Amino acid sequence: MPTALITGASRGLGAAIARALAPTHDLLLGGRPSAELDDLAMELEGSSTWSVELTDHDEVEAATEAITSLDVLVHNAGVGGISPVEETPAEEYRRIMEVNFIAAAELTRLLLPALREVDGHIVFVNSGAGRTARPGWSAYAASKFALRAFSESLREEEPDLRVTSVFPGRIDTDMQRELVDIEGGEYDATRFLAPQTVAAAVAQAIATPRDAHPTEIVLRPTGRR
C-alpha cells in the first residue's frame, strides 16, 4: 500500500485523518512520544509511530533520512493562541510561526526527494484564519497566511506533485476548547466541525484520481450535527 506521513496524529483531527487513511495507506504517525500515539499505532494495522519534535530541525533531518519514498504528507500539527496585538510579544509570534509554518516548510523541503520519487501528494491543513484574519488572531492568522503562500509557491515549483490546502472552520477538538476558554465563551460542540468530517475531506482529496488536482478545499460548519 502507499505510505502516508501525518503530523500531529496523536489526537483530534490528526487521529481522525489517520483513521480515515488507514484502510488505504500504511501510516507514519507523527507526534511527540505519548501513550495516545502508541495506542493509535496499535489500533491501526500497518501504522507505526514517527516521534519527532518538529521544531528541532536536526532531529527532523535525521528522522527523514530513512524515508526514500513517500506517497502522502499531511501537515496537521499546529498550535493556536488568541491575544490582541498590543498584548502579543515577539516571542508569541515566533512560537506560533515556528510550529505552524517553519516546521512544515522544513519538513516539506527534506521530504521532497521522497515525494518526487512517486509523484506524491502534500496536504496542508490550514484554517479559515489562513484566508481571513479576525481581531485577536494576528499571530495565528499570520502563520496560516504564510502557510498558504508557501503551498501556492510549492504548487507552482513542483508540477509533478499535488499540493492541497484545506481551510476548515473551527473544529471540535481539545485545542478548540482551550481557545473558547480564552475567549470566555461557553463550549458548544455543535457549533464546530466534527474532526471526522474534515478527515473525510482530506481522504477524499487524496483519493481523487490523478487527472484532477484538488488545490483548495474550504469547509464551514453548519451547526446541524
**Can you tell me the distance from the alpha carbon of 141 to that of 131, in angstroms, rounded to the nearest whole number?**
8
Alpha-carbon distances of 79 from 16, 73, 103, 139, rounded to whole Å:
17, 19, 12, 11
Please give the positions annotated as active site: 140
Task: Kindly report the pTM of this predicted structure.
Answer: 0.94
**Percentage of the residues of the chain whose pLDDT score is greater than 90:** 84
* pLDDT tens, residue by residue, 208-219: 999 999 999 999
Query: Over the chain, what is the mean pLDDT?
Result: 94
Spell out the residues 6+ positions from residue 3 whose beta carbon is closer than 8 angstroms to its own: 25, 26, 27, 28, 69, 70, 71, 72
Tally of residues, the chain = 225
- Tell me if 116 sits within 8 A of 69, measured CB to CB: no
Q: How confident is the model at residue 7 (pLDDT cuts 50, 70, 90)?
A: very high
* pLDDT given at position 27: 98
**Can you tell me the distance from the alpha carbon of 162 to that of 62, in angstroms, rounded to the nearest whole number?**
25
Residue 70: count of CB within 10 angstroms of its CB: 23
Is 137 buried (19+), middle (13-18) or exposed (0-12) by CB count in 10 A? buried
* pLDDT tens, residue by residue, 33-53: 999 999 999 999 989 999 999
Could you list the beta-strand ranges (E) of 31-76: 47-50, 72-75
* pLDDT tens, residue by residue, 84-133: 999 999 999 999 999 999 999 999 999 999 999 999 999 999 999 999 99
**pLDDT for residue 163 is more than 90:** yes
**Can you tell me the distance from the alpha carbon of 114 to that of 133, in angstroms, rounded to the nearest whole number?**
34
Domains identified in the chain and CATH numbers: 3-219 (3.40.50.720)
**pLDDT for residue 223 is more than 80:** no
**Can you tell me the distance from the alpha carbon of 207 to that of 24, in angstroms, rounded to the nearest whole number?**
9
* pLDDT given at position 154: 98
* pLDDT given at position 180: 66
